[in-house]
């Protein structure tokens, strides 16, 4: 009986998801039949003219999430490692609680703080980046539309801060629940603390860490409010990460209130595309984890 | 490897230690910064305990008043969402970790889609619940907000609970079976308590996320400048007070919004610290 | 030990619940009715003032959430709110989805062009072409001739122009772009008007606060906002050249002058963009409350009708303090007729 309850809870997840997909698919069907190619590959978004190019949003979503991961994964995993392995015993709980506190900050605060505090702070840094590294590597260069402060880079930084606690907390749990015997064995054989971690902890933790990174990526891909406030929400594809842009969640959040007819359907279609992207990312993660575990 | 540790290996060990300490600093600097900024503006609105017991003044440009409408709303909406999502999440995780046959296709599929669900932007849940419930009932309502939040929290709780359940040593289960306990009892009385701290961390992370979500509530609970506890009517919540309040043209209203932000952060902090304290020694051993 | 801690925790939670219940009861008399409305951010300050005053006067709760004009239209179409609010009158295509909707005008307001130039703290004059050029991206520097020619004696810096516009659907955008479409053929063909347009340049920010915030933190920034937001952020406001060639500041008198020129058709949908007349501020706009002619609930319908009547009469006195112009009397008369036509089960609800 207990087993049946547990099984139905698990199955219910699939049912709800299927219902959601069905509803969104059904609602967006008309626009798919007319604009499918454009939604997937078009670069121009002009709803008033019935032009629905979805590529700028895919671009924005991927770029901001990539920036977020590049910044957050090293910090998150290293933080988790420090708390579980290196920190003095009496500090562990405090540091863990503090890192978890980053998750307590609501996303709307990240967005507002990001806009009023972080963006003005990042603007001179972005200008410096464009002036120096940007001359050689175009992705760090001054965007064609000019440097505004808000944009892909700022959104990426905000996202990074937001997903650090997710990556860190889950990684920490993973590190802590690995049995200590192997670590002690390595130490007994003369390894340094870091070496014992490298040998005994990291390999076993790898699947869990990847799980943590995927959870973090999931959070980054789907973050709506904070990104909408700091990204500039202009559907363009730029050579530079310092440009403004838009993500799939941000255009949905920004436009859905007003949208009607084909515009609303196009936004729902983008929601479907976002679902497909999340699906793809998770399939990739599965492949990675399987390879390591084997 | 047996023998004295060379200077080079020592240096590497120290370097790694320092680098990870630096990472901790990097993670904590934005936290301190945000808290400082939120407190700087928010504290201006918290002039007395009225801030927590009264709703906003009718005139948004007036000083005083508070965000009790948001506090009550968050307690009700997130409470209801937790009542839906945590049991569902834990039960689904229990199925995946304890009852599903290893290598079960169904279990893999469920796990996979739970990860996918975590990645769906919160606004989509809001839109889905709006279409399903709000438009159909012609009313914004608190309970529709709870449903939207529950959908977000559920996969998070499920995934983290499952991770933690998997790491409970098999010996504990074997010992229980050896004593003659049936499977369900083993799960309920041995496995779940052993994983308790981890489950709670996962649930709290999920709820912290749920309590801070704005997008799903925008078109479900909708917001209300009056204090309300009616589940079938629009209700405010702290994120809504923050989002809508910070964007008005009046400083007192903006200060109240940041005060709400401070309140929400403190609320979630108390939850996390409280959970650790509640579990006492068991949690300390694991952390 | 654990059981003891559990007991303490449960006691704390129960105490909190009791306090919550007790505080919940400290409200005064139960209101006679409650209305929910949603829509434009542009008039939100005055609507919230009205909600406060009306509660004190008539003991009716009005919950107004500023979610944007587009949101107001969508929600009243879906009948999830009792009234909608929009600075953009509903288009014909939108009306077909919400048959029987009435537009009740409430106040007029100004959309201002605000900018961030350290050396020019006030008094910037902009011609129609200058405004269009700035927001089309054809004017790239502040010392461009198109701007300088109208501002002799002002040293304009060689700073790059950084445009800020709305990223969300907005009635403020509708008023601003309607003005631009009326004064610039290039704008009309390239961009057009609407709550949400395909901007040729500039970063998007969310809400009036977002645009004013972006302008405030970007040297060389320029944007369009509802007048209260410019004032709140101590941002300078440009004088705009109107149809007679005069440079007009967005004062209450200038907006009222624009309001008085409105040609109002039967359904009360109109625009005062680029209003004629020497004293008119050209980027003015009206804002409406959207209600159904046939109400579904008698108590709510009654409360709504009484509130609307109050809004266009008693409510008008609080508008000027918040920088909104009151309705001209001819418009009030027309609005009264519309309110009198609201019915429940065939009977008119307004009884005077």
Helix H, strand E, coil C: the string for B160-206 is: HHHHHHHCCCHHHHHHHHHCCCCHHHHHHHHHHHHCHHHHHHHHHHH
The pLDDT value recorded for residue C302 is 92
Q: Look at A6 and B118 and tell me if their CB atoms are within 8 Å.
A: no
Q: Which helix (H) or strand (E) holds C313?
A: none
Q: How far is B19 from chain C (nearest CA, A)?
A: 35
A127, A147 Cβ separation under 8 angstroms:
yes
Q: By the CB < 8 Å criterion, does B159 face chain A?
A: yes
* Assigned token pair, B182: 């049936």
Residue of chain C nearest B223, judged by CA positions:
C65
Share the mean pLDDT of chain A: 86
ipTM of this complex prediction, to 2 decimal places: 0.82
Closest approach of chain A CAs to the CA of C91, in angstroms?
A: 12
pLDDT value at residue C1: 44
C220 at interface of A, judged by CB pairs closer than 8 A: no
**Residue from the list A49, A229, A258 with its beta carbon closest to the beta carbon of C196:** A258
Q: What is the pLDDT of residue A58?
A: 92
Quote the CA–CA distance of C267 and C271 in Å, as a whole number: 12
Q: What's the pLDDT at B202?
A: 76
Query: Which chains lie within 8 Å of chain B at 3 or more CB pairs, if any?
Result: A, C
Strand duo C60-66 + A51-52: pairing = unpaired
Minimal CA separation from C70 to chain A, in Å:
4
CB contact under 8 Å between C209 and B222, yes or no, is no
- What is the sign, positive or negative, of the torsion defined by CA atoms of A8, A11, A15, A20? positive
- Measured between alpha carbons, how far is residue B123 from residues A227, B119, B151, B208 in Å? 12, 11, 12, 17
B38 has pLDDT over 80:
yes
Record: contact C52-B229, CB cut-off 8 A? no
Higher pLDDT pick, A233 / B274: A233
The residue in chain A having the minimum alpha-carbon distance to the alpha carbon of residue C207 is A229
Ranges assigned E (strand) in chain C? 33-39, 60-66, 83-86, 101-115, 125-126, 162-166, 203-205, 221-226, 239-241, 247-248, 284-292, 294-295, 343-344, 347-348
Q: Is B162 on the interface with A (CB under 8 A)?
A: no
CA distance B56 to B227: 9
**Eight-class DSSP state of C296:** S
pTM of the model: 0.83
Alpha-carbon separation of residue C235 from B5, B92, C117, C122, C218 (angstroms): 65, 55, 10, 9, 12
User: Looking up tokens 């050249």, which residue turns up?
Assistant: C241
Chain center to CA of B126: 17
What pLDDT is attached to residue A190?
82
How sure is the predictor about A195, in pLDDT bands with cuts at 50, 70 and 90?
confident
Contact A258 C73 (CB under 8 A): yes
Residues B76-85 pLDDT 10s: 999 999 999 9
Contacts with A20 from chain B: Cβ below 8 Å: 120, 124-125, 128
* Nearest beta carbon to residue B226 from set C38, C61, C80: C61
Q: How many CB pairs under 8 A join B and C?
A: 87
Q: Do A103 and B205 touch (CB under 8 A)?
A: yes
- Tell if the CB–CB gap between B57 and C228 is shorter than 8 Å: no
- Residue A240 DSSP one-character state: S
Pairing of strands C83-86, C60-66: unpaired
Q: Which residue has the tokens 């702070």?
A: A121
- Mean pLDDT for all residues in chain B: 84
Distance, in Å, from the CA atom of A143 to the CA atom of C229, rounded to the nearest integer, reads: 29
The whole-angstrom distance between C257's CA and the closest CA on chain A is: 31
Q: Does any CB of chain A come closer than 8 Å to the CB of residue B158?
A: yes
The more confident residue out of B143 and C22 is: B143
Above 50 in pLDDT, residue B283?
no
Per-residue model confidence (pLDDT) at position C7? 52
d(CA A185, CA A175): 17
Chain B 51-70, residues with CB within 8 Å of chain A CB atoms: none
**DSSP conformation class of B64:** -
**pLDDT (mean) for B215-222:** 88
Overall average pLDDT of the A181-199 stretch: 83
Q: Does the pLDDT of residue A109 top 60, yes or no?
A: yes
Q: Per mean pLDDT, which range of A271-285, B151-165, C13-27 is the poorest?
A: C13-27
Tell if the CB–CB gap between A98 and B28 is shorter than 8 Å: yes
**Consecutive 10-residue averages of pLDDT for chain C (352 residues):** 51 57 50 86 90 91 88 89 93 89 95 93 91 94 92 90 88 93 94 88 86 90 91 89 92 93 91 91 95 92 94 94 91 94 88 76
B20 CA: distance to closest CA in chain C (Å): 35
B209–chain A Cβ distance below 8 A for any pair = yes
CA B104 to CA B101: how far, in whole Å? 5
Between the alpha carbon of residue A265 and those of residues A23, B137, C110, C327, the distances in Å are: 12, 22, 33, 38
Neighbours of chain C (3+ CB pairs under 8 A): A, B
Name the residue with higher pLDDT: B51 or A261.
Answer: B51
Q: What distances in angstroms separate CA A165 from CA A243, B149, B272, C241, C331, one per listed residue?
A: 27, 20, 13, 53, 57
B200/A169 Cα distance (integer angstroms)? 12
**Which residues does chain C have within 8 Å of residue A115's beta carbon, measured at their own beta carbons?**
205, 210, 213
Mutate to test the interface with A, among B90, B115, B242, B246 (most CBs of A within 10 A): B115
DSSP β-bridge partners for residue C237: C114
Do the Cβ atoms of B87 and A9 come within 8 Å?
Answer: yes
| A-to-C residue pairs, Cβ atoms closer than 8 angstroms | 89
Chain A contact for B230 (CB, 8 A cutoff):
no
Query: For chain B, which domains are there?
Result: 52-286 (1.10.3720.10)
Q: Which is it for the CA torsion B287, C4, C10, C16, positive or negative?
A: negative
Chain-chain contact of B59 with C48 (C-beta, under 8 angstroms): yes
Size of interface A-B (CB pairs under 8 A): 277
Average pLDDT estimate for A253-264? 77
Q: What whole-number distance in Å separates Cα of residue B143 and Cα of residue B141?
A: 6
Q: Are the beta carbons of C217 and A255 separated by less than 8 Å? A: no
Which of the two residues, B123 and B77, has the higher pLDDT score? Answer: B77
Closest chain C C-alpha to A16 CA, distance in angstroms: 24
Interface subset of B 185-204, CB within 8 angstroms of A: 187-188, 198, 201
Residue A178 predicted with pLDDT over 50? yes
Q: In this complex, is the C-beta atom of C94 within 8 Å of any C-beta atom belonging to chain A?
A: yes
pLDDT band at A196 (very low <50, low <70, confident <90, very high): confident
Could you give the CA distance from residue B92 to residue A8 in angstroms, rounded to a whole number?
A: 8
Q: Is residue C100 within 8 Å of residue C267, measured between CB atoms?
A: no
């Amino acid at each position: 009986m207990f087993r049946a309850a547990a099984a139905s809870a698990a199955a219910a997840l699939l049912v709800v998801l299927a219902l959601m997909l069905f509803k969104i698919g059904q609602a967006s069907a008309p626009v798919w039949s007319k604009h499918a190619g454009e939604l997937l590959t078009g670069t121009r978004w002009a709803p008033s003219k019935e032009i629905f190019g979805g590529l700028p949003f895919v671009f924005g979503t991927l770029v901001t999430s990539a920036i977020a991961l590049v910044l957050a994964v090293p910090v998150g995993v290293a933080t988790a490692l420090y708390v579980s392995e290196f920190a003095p015993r009496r500090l562990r709980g405090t540091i863990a609680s503090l890192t978890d506190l980053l998750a307590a900050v609501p996303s709307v605060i990240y967005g507002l703080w990001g806009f009023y505090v972080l963006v003005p702070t990042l603007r001179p840094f972005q200008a410096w980046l464009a002036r120096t590294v940007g001359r050689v590597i175009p992705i760090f260069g001054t965007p064609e539309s000019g440097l505004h402060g808000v944009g892909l880079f700022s959104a990426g930084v905000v996202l990074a801060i937001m997903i650090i606690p997710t990556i860190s907390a889950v990684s920490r749990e993973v590190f802590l629940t690995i049995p200590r015997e192997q670590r002690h064995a390595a130490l007994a054989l003369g390894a340094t603390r870091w070496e014992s971690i490298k040998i005994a902890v990291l390999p076993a933790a790898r699947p869990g860490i990847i799980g943590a990174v995927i959870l973090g990526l999931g959070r980054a891909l789907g973050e709506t409010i904070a990104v909408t406030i700091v990204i500039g929400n202009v559907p363009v594809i730029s050579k530079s990460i310092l440009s403004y842009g838009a993500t799939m969640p941000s255009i949905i959040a920004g436009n859905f209130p007003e949208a009607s007819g084909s515009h609303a359907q196009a936004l729902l279609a983008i929601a479907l595309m976002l679902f497909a992207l999340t699906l793809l990312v998770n399939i990739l993660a599965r492949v990675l984890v399987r390879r390591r575990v084997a | 490897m047996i023998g004295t540790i060379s200077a080079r290996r020592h240096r590497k060990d120290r370097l790694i230690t320092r680098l990870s300490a630096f990472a901790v600093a990097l993670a904590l600097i934005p936290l301190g910064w945000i808290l400082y900024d939120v407190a700087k503006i928010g504290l201006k609105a918290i002039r007395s305990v009225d801030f927590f017991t009264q709703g906003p003044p009718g005139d948004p440009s007036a000083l005083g008043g508070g965000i009790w409408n948001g506090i009550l709303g968050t307690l009700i909406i997130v409470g209801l969402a937790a009542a839906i999502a945590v049991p569902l999440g834990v039960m689904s995780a229990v199925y995946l970790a304890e009852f599903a046959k290893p290598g079960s296709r169904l279990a893999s599929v469920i796990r996979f889609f739970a990860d996918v669900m975590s990645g769906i932007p919160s606004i989509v849940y809001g839109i889905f619940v709006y279409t399903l419930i709000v438009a159909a009932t012609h009313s914004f309502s608190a309970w529709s907000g709870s449903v939207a939040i529950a959908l977000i929290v559920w996969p998070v709780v499920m995934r983290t609970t499952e991770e933690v359940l998997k790491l409970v040593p098999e010996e504990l289960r074997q010992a229980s079976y050896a004593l003659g306990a049936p499977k369900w009892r083993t799960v309920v009385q041995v496995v779940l308590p052993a994983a308790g701290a981890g489950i709670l961390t996962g649930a709290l992370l999920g709820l912290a996320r749920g309590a801070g979500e704005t997008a799903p509530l925008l078109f479900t609970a909708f917001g209300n400048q009056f204090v309300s506890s009616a589940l079938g009517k629009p209700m405010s919540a702290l994120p809504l007070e923050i989002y809508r309040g910070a964007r008005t043209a009046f400083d007192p209203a903006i200060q109240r919004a940041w005060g709400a932000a401070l309140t929400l952060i403190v609320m979630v902090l108390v939850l996390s610290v409280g959970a650790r304290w509640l579990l006492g020694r068991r949690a300390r051993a694991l952390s | 030990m654990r059981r003891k801690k559990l007991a303490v925790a449960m006691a704390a939670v129960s105490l909190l619940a009791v306090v919550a219940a007790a505080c919940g009861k400290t409200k005064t008399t139960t209101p006679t009715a409650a209305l929910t409305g949603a829509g434009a951010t542009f008039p939100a300050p005055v609507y919230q003032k009205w909600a406060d005053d009306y509660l004190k006067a008539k003991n009716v709760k009005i919950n107004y959430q500023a979610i944007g004009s587009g949101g107001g239209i969508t929600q009243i179409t879906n009948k999830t709110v009792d009234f909608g609010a929009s600075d953009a009158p509903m288009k014909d295509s939108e009306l077909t989805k919400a048959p029987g909707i009435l537009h009740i005008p409430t106040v007029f307001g100004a959309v201002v062009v605000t900018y961030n130039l350290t050396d020019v703290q006030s008094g910037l004059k902009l011609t129609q072409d200058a405004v269009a050029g700035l927001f089309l991206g054809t004017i790239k520097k502040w010392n461009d001739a198109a701007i300088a020619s109208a501002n002799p004696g002002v040293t304009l810096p060689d700073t790059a122009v950084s445009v800020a516009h709305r990223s969300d659907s907005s009635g403020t955008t509708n008023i601003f772009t309607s003005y631009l479409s009326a004064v610039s053929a290039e704008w009309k063909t390239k961009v057009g008007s609407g709550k949400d347009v395909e901007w040729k340049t500039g970063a998007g920010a969310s809400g009036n606060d977002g645009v004013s915030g972006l302008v405030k933190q970007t040297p060389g920034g320029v944007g369009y906002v509802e007048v209260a937001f410019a004032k709140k952020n101590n941002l300078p406001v440009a004088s705009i050249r109107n149809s007679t060639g005069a440079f007009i500041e967005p004062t209450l008198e200038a907006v009222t002058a624009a309001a008085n020129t409105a040609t109002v058709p039967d359904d009360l949908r109109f625009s005062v963009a680029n209003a004629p007349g020497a004293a008119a501020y050209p980027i003015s706009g009206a804002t409406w409350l959207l209600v159904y002619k046939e109400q579904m609930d008698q108590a709510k319908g009654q409360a709504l009708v009484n509130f609307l009547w109050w809004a266009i009469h008693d409510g008008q006195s609080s508008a000027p303090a918040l920088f909104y112009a009151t309705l001209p009397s001819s418009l009030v008369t027309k609005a009264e007729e519309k309110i009198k036509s609201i019915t429940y089960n065939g009977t008119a609800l307004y009884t005077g």
